[in-house]
């Protein structure tokens, strides 16, 4: 990116051969008039567990609403586990990003994304900055879809709304009988693929649990296993080879995603396909993983990567390498993204208990999730019901509180 491009992204006026050139912000037709952001601590209906987070009892939800001059509202959101960091993400939006959006043209999504990225670059370039940017970027895409009267999956160039989906079990501490009972419930809901957790204290326990699931589901049923970065590389190689007998569709996050050499070794020494990426928070990190490590199913999370804009970039990079992409979390948004790209794999379905606050829940038919055809992403939160759990709120612009 050249100096002029950076200046445009940051919203500065630049001079070219003595002529002042103004960035797109100066030529808005329908600017953002209001910005609302709220932070919630939402209790889970039942505790969840995995090998990294331990027991999870609640999650942080950060919601952004952008209002244009016609009163359209674009909604975006991100989340944190056990509410860790939620107040910091909200504060970045309130203090550092809201001023960049006031009066901006919401249709200039890429320019606004670059403006946010460079504004936060010294403390950002991933991490919590990407969470904050994600909530705004998702809201911008939702608003664009509403303005153009197009569902998000159509806006991205998709031709069919159906996406194969799997049930994401967060079940490391469940006894085997409860694990199988949960799997039976997933089958009753119409899922044709299931993911379970691994990463118990002893590999023999993981083998016993995966064997039980394979015997219960049958030899050809798509079964994934997720280690949540539990192992070092030697352990991961041993575990992958031990679990390969069960025909896993993929083994997810056997290592920390930054261990490129370790992933390359997994690619050389094991036969189980590897999915990873939910803990990568920039496009550059995904590029490094695909170029210098090893991954069979890149797994970007729009809510933690910086939004839809970088998610689509990762999907295009993966497509160029012949790799299918999967997803993590916020399935009500990701169903659109996977339906909108040609190299989609499975959609992960689990919402951290958010379903009870949605006006419309994800539709599942014959093992496939159906992206709604309403303008934008179609996610409508019951903000009145969520008020009970609100910990911070901020509004900027005219007619505050109108939406």
Positions annotated as catalytic residues are 197, 328
In which order are the strands placed within the sheet that holds 390-397?
A: 73-81, 54-68, 32-50, 390-397
Residue 315: both structure tokens together: 């999907």
Q: For residues 81 and 58, what is the distance between their CA atoms, to the nearest angstrom?
A: 7
Q: For residues 146 and 162, what is the distance between their CA atoms, to the nearest angstrom?
A: 21
Helix or strand (DSSP H, E) at 312: helix 308-320
Q: For residues 145 and 333, what is the distance between their CA atoms, to the nearest angstrom?
A: 13
Residue 304 has a CB neighbour count (10 Å cut-off) of 25
Q: Which 3 state secondary structure label does DSSP give 11?
A: coil
State the sign of the Cα–Cα–Cα–Cα dihedral 138, 139, 141, 142: positive
Q: Which 3 state secondary structure label does DSSP give 250?
A: strand
Q: For residues 136 and 119, what is the distance between their CA atoms, to the nearest angstrom?
A: 14
**Axis-axis angle for helices 203-217, 233-243 (nearest 10):** 30
């Amino acid at each position: 990116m050249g100096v002029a491009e950076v200046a445009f992204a940051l919203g500065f006026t630049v001079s070219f051969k003595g002529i002042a050139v103004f960035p797109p912000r100066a030529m808005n037709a329908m600017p953002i008039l209001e910005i609302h952001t709220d932070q919630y601590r939402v209790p889970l209906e039942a505790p969840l567990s995995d090998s990294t987070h331990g027991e999870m009892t609640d999650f942080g939800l950060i919601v952004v609403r952008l209002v244009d001059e016609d009163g359209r509202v674009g909604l975006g959101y991100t989340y944190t586990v056990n509410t860790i960091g939620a107040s910091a993400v909200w504060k970045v939006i309130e203090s550092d990003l809201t001023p960049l959006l006031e009066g901006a043209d919401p249709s200039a999504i890429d320019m606004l994304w670059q403006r946010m990225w460079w504004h936060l670059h010294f403390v950002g370039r991933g991490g919590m900055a990407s969470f904050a940017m994600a909530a705004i970027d998702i809201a911008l895409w939702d608003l664009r879809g509403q303005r153009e009267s197009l569902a998000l999956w159509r806006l991205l160039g998709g031709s069919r709304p159906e996406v194969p989906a799997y049930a994401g079990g967060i079940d490391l501490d469940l006894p085997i009988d409860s694990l199988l009972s949960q799997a039976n419930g997933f089958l009753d809901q119409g899922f044709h693929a299931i993911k379970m957790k691994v990463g118990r204290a002893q590999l023999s326990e993981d083998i016993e649990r995966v064997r039980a699931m394979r015997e219960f589901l049958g030899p050809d049923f798509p079964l994934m296993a997720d280690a949540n970065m539990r192992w070092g590389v030697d352990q991961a190689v041993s575990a992958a080879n031990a679990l390969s007998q069960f025909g896993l569709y993929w083994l997810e996050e056997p290592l920390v995603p930054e261990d490129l050499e370790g992933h390359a070794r997994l690619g050389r020494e094991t036969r189980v396909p590897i999915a990873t990426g939910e803990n990568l928070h920039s496009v550059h990190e995904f590029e490094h993983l695909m170029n210098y490590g090893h991954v069979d199913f890149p797994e970007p999370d729009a809510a933690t990567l910086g939004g839809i804009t970088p998610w689509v970039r990762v999907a295009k990079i993966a497509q160029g390498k012949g790799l299918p992409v999967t997803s993590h979390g916020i399935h009500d948004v990701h169903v659109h993204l996977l339906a909108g790209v040609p190299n989609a794999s499975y959609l992960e379905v689990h919402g951290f208990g958010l379903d009870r606050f949605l006006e419309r829940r994800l539709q599942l038919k014959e093992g496939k999730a159906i992206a709604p055809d309403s303008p934008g992403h179609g996610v409508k939160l019951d903000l009145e019901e969520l008020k009970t759990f609100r910990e911070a709120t901020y509004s900027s612009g005219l007619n505050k509180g109108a939406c």
